[in-house]
Amino acid sequence: MATFTKQTSPYIRKPASTKRMMIDVLIALFPLVVFAVWKFGLDAFLRIIIAVAVMILTEVVTVMIRHRPHPKFEGFKVRMIERFKQIRLLNIITPAISGLIFVLMVPAQLPIYVVIVAAFLGILFGKLVFGGLGANIFNPAAVAFVIAHVSFAASFKYTQLDAVAGATPLTAIGDSIMNIPDMLNNYSLLDLFLGKIPGGMGEICALLIIVGGLYLFIRKAADWRITASMLLSFTVLIGVAALILDASNAHLIILYQLLGGGLLYGAVYMVTDPVTAPTTKPGRWLYGLLIGSLVAIFRLFGPNPEGVAYTILICNMFSPLIDYHKWSKNNYSWKSWTLYGATLVVAILIVVAGVGGFN
């Protein structure tokens, strides 16, 4: 007789445990932690420790509160020990990852109370209220960042001695990508690649992010399809806008947009979250396309020059729809590729119309 076991997501179709995958993510994040501490010193170290501790403590306490010991366990001490036994290693590793991903997105001078509030609310409302590991539909790190960014926007100040007084590469270009060629006099592509720019503590070093991504993909701890689709669609849309507005500098505009901000960071460490992403291969290509397209559109036409975390939360809501059993298949078909192509064409038309390409 077959035996069935109840299990929450992520559902892994390969000989790897969730614990091993999470440990791999920690390993991939470690170089960025070292970089943040090296570049920003004690400010970064304190905020990293606090964010991780708050998220771990919040999850541990929630797990203990949710568990109701059997009546046979009598006495406060005995019942507390029984509650404590419900804590698993994943209840430590997964909130630690969320804490790291969140805190590496924020400036090193973000007030500590903001880090505490955002980390607490992010893990609580992004994960724990849905039932904990495997039950959440939103990325907890993205929730924490958006809470901090929306509620404490004035605290997001970046300090660095450079020609544009600490403005990030994306905010420095203003409201037009046509300013990028001139801005390269202040922020070279090499500066963006090596992280010699103001920005989030860990999301600014493209080199280390790429190294971490390659490690995750080689170890199969993350699905490369979402990342590839996101970066491909983003590059296509930014390229279309650049060709229309300033064709001679299109390559510089594309590279500046790819390396600036949190695009690569989100593409490697956030959209690949196996819980909030679709489970099928075609679904993951479509999911990446939606995220990459929205980030490009937000950067081109929105008031927020970044938009990665916001876009991820928006697309998290579409993940269950993409996985709906009536049309969700794990095999590629002409229908899945037609939908992908049609969606990309619609996004291109939006960009062309937005930059005045039809005039």
Band (pLDDT 50/70/90 cuts) for residue 325 is: confident
How many CA within 13 A on the CB side of residue 34?
9
Of 105, 126, 155, which residue constitutes the final position of a domain? 155
Same domain, 330 and 198: yes
Q: What's the pLDDT band for 97 if we cut at 50, 70, 90?
A: very high
Domain-located, residue 179: yes
Rounded to whole angstroms, the Cα distance separating 260 from 296 reads 12
The answer to whether residue 4 sits within a structural domain is no
Mean pLDDT of the chain: 87
Residue among 207, 204, 106 at smallest CA distance from 151: 106
199 and 317, same structural domain?
yes
What would the mean pLDDT of 87-101 be, rounded to a whole number?
A: 91
Residue 127 binned pLDDT confidence (cut-offs 50, 70, 90)? very high
**Nearest 10 degrees: CA dihedral of 280, 283, 288, 289?**
160
Check whether residue 139 and residue 192 sit in a common domain.
no
**Rounded Cα–Cα distance for residues 338 and 75 (Å):** 63
Q: What is the band of 306 on the pLDDT scale with cuts at 50, 70, 90? A: confident
**Lowest-confidence pick of 159-168, 326-335, 346-355:** 159-168
More confident residue, 38 or 74: 38
- Residue 164 pLDDT: 47
Report the distance separating Cα 145 and Cα 106, nearest Å: 8
Query: Do 177 and 319 share a domain, yes or no?
Result: yes
Q: According to the model, what pLDDT value does residue 179 have?
A: 79
Q: What is the pLDDT of residue 291?
A: 96
Over residues 101-125, mean pLDDT: 95
Statement: residue 47 has pLDDT above 50: yes
On whether both 264 and 345 belong to a single domain, the answer is yes
Long-range contacts of 43-46 (CB under 8 A, 24+ apart): 43/108, 43/109, 44/108, 44/201, 46/112
**Token digits of residue 122:** 């992010």
Residue 120 lies in a domain: yes
- CB 230, CB 289: distance < 8 Å: yes
The reported pLDDT for the residue numbered 163 is 42
Q: Single out the residue in 155, 179, 213 at which a domain terminates.
A: 155
| 205 and 287 inside one domain | yes
pLDDT in tens, 224-242: 999 999 999 999 999 999 9
| pLDDT at residue 162 in the model | 46
Residue 1 lies in a domain: no
Asked if residues 284 and 275 have their Cβ atoms less than 8 Å apart, the reply is: no
- Closest residue by Cα to residue 139 from 297, 269, 5, 303: 269
Lowest mean pLDDT among 53-67, 70-84, 191-205, 229-243: 70-84
Same domain? 213 vs 342: yes
Between residues 82 and 32, the one the model is more confident about: 32
Q: At what angle do helices 224-246 and 206-218 cross, to 10 degrees?
A: 140
* Average pLDDT of the segment spanning 114-141: 92
Query: What pLDDT, on the 0 to 100 scale, is given for residue 82?
Result: 76
pLDDT greater than 80 at residue 83: no
Looking at the fold, whether 95 and 194 belong to one and the same domain comes out as no
Residue 103 lies in a domain: yes
Checking if the pLDDT of 129 tops 80, the result is yes
Domain identity same for 208 and 327: yes
Please check whether residue 3 lies inside any domain of the structure: no
Residue 6 located in a structural domain: no
* pLDDT for the residue 73: 67
Which of the pair, 126 or 5, is modelled with greater confidence?
126
Of 64-73, 109-118, 281-290, the least confident:
64-73
Closest C-alpha to 296, from 359, 338, 343 = 343
Q: Encoding tokens for residue 175?
A: 């409201």
Q: Is residue 177 domain-shared with residue 116, that is, in the same domain?
A: no
pLDDT for 166 = 54
Candidates 72, 63, 157, 68; CA nearest to 106 is 157
Q: What is the pLDDT of residues 153-186, one digit of tens each?
A: 888 877 654 444 457 778 877 667 877 888 888 8
Q: Which domain holds residue 43?
A: 25-155
Domain boundary among 99, 124, 155: 155
Among 15-19, 258-262, 316-320, the minimum mean pLDDT is found in 15-19
pLDDT for residue 28: 95
Q: Do both 273 and 239 map to the same domain? A: yes
Question: What's the first-to-final CA gap in the chain, in angstroms?
Answer: 68
> Quick one: 175 and 70 in the same domain?
no
Between 147 and 324, name the one with better pLDDT: 147
Number of separate domains in the chain: 2
Amino acid 85: pLDDT: 75
Q: Is residue 267 domain-resident? A: yes
Q: Of 216, 243, 335, 225, which is closest to residue 279 (Cα–Cα)?
A: 225
